[in-house]
Amino acid sequence: MSRKNIHITHRADGSWAVVGEGDSRASSVHKTQGAAIEAGRPIAMNNQAELVIHDRNNRIRDKDS
């Protein structure tokens, strides 16, 4: 099973994306950061990976194992 981290990132259009580390496309896109975190958390748990949450400037804000 893959253990790549799942990132919650801010996009230029103001939306938030759930992106697997190294993936070229987002798994999903959401209007709010909270919605993106809710969508990304089960993906990270299924992959036994870390959820990495970025702020509006895409700097790492928090990590959740």
Q: pLDDT tens digits for the chain (65 residues)?
A: 457 999 999 999 999 999 999 999 999 999 999 999 999 999 999 999 999 999 999 999 999 87
Residue with tokens 């089960």: 42
Q: If DSSP codes are grouped into helix, strand and coil, which group holds residue 60?
A: strand
Task: Give the whole-angstrom CA distance, residue 1 versus residue 9.
Answer: 23
Question: How many Cβ atoms from other residues are within 10 Å of residue 11's Cβ?
Answer: 13
Q: Report how far residue 57's alpha carbon sits from residue 65's, in angstroms, rounded to the nearest whole number.
A: 22
pTM equals 0.91
**Token reading at 6:** 């799942």
